[in-house]
Amino acid sequence: MTETSNNSDADHAGRGDDGFPKEFIWGASTSSYQIEGAARADGRGPSIWDTFCRQKGKIANGDTGDTACDHYHRYPEDVGLMRDLGVQAYRFSVAWPRVLPHGRGVANEAGLAFYDRLIDELIAAGIEPWLCLYHWDLPQSLDDIGGWTNRDCAGWFADYAALIGRRYGDRVKRFATFNEPSLFTLFGYAFAWHAPGLSDRADYLQAIHHVNLAHGAAVDALRTVPSASIGGIHNWQPCVAATPADGAAAEQLAAYWNGAIADPQHLACYPPLVEPLIDPYVRAGDLARICRPVDWFGLNHYSPIYTKADPAAALGVALGPSPAHVPRTGVGWPIEPQAFRETLQTVHRRYRLPIYVMENGFGSTDDRLDDAGRIADRHRIDYLKSYTDAMRAAMAAGADVRGYFVWSLLDNFEWNSGYGPRFGLVYVDYATQRRVPKASFHWYARMVQEARRGRSP
Ligand code: FCB
């Protein structure tokens, strides 16, 4: 499917004066390592996150994704929850090491069969599967030979993409290549906060370029699926100077965070601040290999990033703090819906592609069952309401936004923060794996229902 961006504002088909277009897609997102568990089941190979979680002091509370939400076994219940939620679409990721235990070579039939079952269950429930190829769980065997710092990784990724296209392309139309490539390269290869835990400028720069090459190669591989509609998922967050002296640091971080991946993939160039540093790794023809036509722009957005200069840090920049007057989520992220509106408009103007918001949500640390057995997560509802209002305002101002996926369906493993932060519309009691829809679940269900009826939610 090819979609062209609608740049002429108010005439986006079917939109009422103040509502969402009826064909707007409402969804929910998750990722493999954060929910599946079953880390050793049915021939799954280890990923860099399995390894990283075992390194002392890397993950809060020593948590791991070994069991997570046990979605691997409980997916029918989880799809049932999505049906109750009323979403039209569900975005999940395939665990590369579940289907190719060593990242390449012989595929694991049992792992492939899991995603067959999940996809079939979704389709039977009337929910469209949106499949992301990579949400950070690189097979450990590939990391052992350099992972994203090895240029060959682009080819291994393209082979994996071709396998996924062949296997599921009869039922899946929507494919995303990478989730937040700028974040996993920055956090994994420069800041050492995420797997594989490196902090080296050359590794980081190579990882950026090789991930970009992998994206281009995977887009080409997926084009063999005749109905494929393909995009990447980028976390675009405005980088704001924490103090007046931090302007240059904010500009530098923005070049990496927002530009170093999205620009070459869509505009065939690296941002000027990054280009001279990446140049040693760029071969003739690379930018044409990276910039392959895509059908949409997947946007993850939570908050602006306050940035300060820090000469001791890997790139000379560090995060935070946000100004005292700005309210924050339970996990300390600034709540600034107008930055979301501006981001949607910026991304619309810059890349001229239909935008799907693939992640937006509220992290808390105090979601609890009350005496009546409910979770009254008022703050999450307020956040989601203000952010979806901001999205509507951006659309009214011309941004071509076609869908919104909340992060997340379920509470889950929040990377180096472990299970402390909860982002789900559904509460997960990890001791029993009981699922309890929160107040925000019922709020979102109502909103989706109203919006789909063409009413202003
Ligand atoms: C995003 C990640 C997602 C989740 C949310 C809270 O950066 O893509 O996996 O951790 O943040």
pLDDT tens, 260-285? 999 999 999 999 999 999 999 999 99
Would the pLDDT of 305 be above 90? yes
Would the pLDDT of 12 be above 70? no
Return the pLDDT at 457. Answer: 63
Does 454 or 171 have the greater pLDDT score? 171
Query: Rounded to the nearest whole angstrom, what is the distance from the C-alpha of residue 182 to the centroid of ligand 1?
Result: 12
Question: Average pLDDT in the 253-262 region?
Answer: 98
Would the pLDDT of 9 be above 60? no
Q: What is the mean pLDDT of the chain?
A: 95
Task: Categorize the per-residue pLDDT at 253 as very low, low, confident or very high, splitting at 50, 70 and 90.
Answer: very high
Return the pLDDT at 3. Answer: 56
User: Ligand 1, atom 2: nearest CA belongs to which residue?
Assistant: 180
Question: Average pLDDT in the 157-176 region?
Answer: 98
Our answer to whether residue 121 is catalytic in this structure is no
Would the pLDDT of 6 be above 50? no
Task: Categorize the per-residue pLDDT at 455 as very low, low, confident or very high, splitting at 50, 70 and 90.
Answer: confident
Our answer to whether residue 109 is catalytic in this structure is no
Mutation probe of ligand 1 site: the residue of 415, 419, 423 with most atoms within 8 A of C-beta = 415
Question: Average pLDDT in the 73-91 region?
Answer: 99
CB of 415 within 6 A of ligand 1: the answer is: yes
pLDDT tens, 382-391? 999 999 999 9
- What is the percent of the chain with per-residue pLDDT over 70, rounded to a whole number? 96
Query: Rounded to the nearest whole angstrom, what is the distance from the C-alpha of residue 304 to the centroid of ligand 1?
Result: 15
Check 36, 180, 336, 414 and give the catalytic one: 180
CB of 183 within 6 A of ligand 1: the answer is: yes
**Residue 407: what are its φ and ψ, rounded to 5°?**
-105, 110
Return the pLDDT at 211. Answer: 99
Distance CA 86, CA 89 (A): 9
pLDDT tens, 130-161? 999 999 999 999 999 999 999 999 999 999 99
pLDDT tens, 13-36? 344 446 899 999 999 999 999 999
Question: Average pLDDT in the 197-216 region?
Answer: 98
Atom of ligand 1 nearest to the CA of 183: 7
SS3 string, the chain, reads CCCCCCCCCCCCCCCCCCCCCCCCEEEEECCHHHHCCCCCHHHCCCEHHHHHHCCCCCCHHHCCCCCCCCHHHHHHHHHHHHHHHCCCEEEEECCHHHHCCCCCCCCCHHHHHHHHHHHHHHHHCCCEEEEEEECCCCEHHHHCCCHHHCCCHHHHHHHHHHHHHHHHCCCCCEEEEEECHHHHHHHHHHCCCCCCCCCCHHHHHHHHHHHHHHHHHHHHHHCCCCCCEEEEEEECCCEEECCHHHHHHHHHHHHHHHHCCHHHHHHCCCCCCCHHHHHHHCCCCHHHHHCCCCCEEEEECCCCEEEEECCCCCCCEEECCCCCCCCECCCCCECCHHHHHHHHHHHHHHHCCCEEEEECCCCECCCCCCCCCCCCCHHHHHHHHHHHHHHHHHHHCCCCEEEEEEECCECCCCHHHCCCCECCCEEEECCCCEEEECHHHHHHHHHHHHHHCCCCC
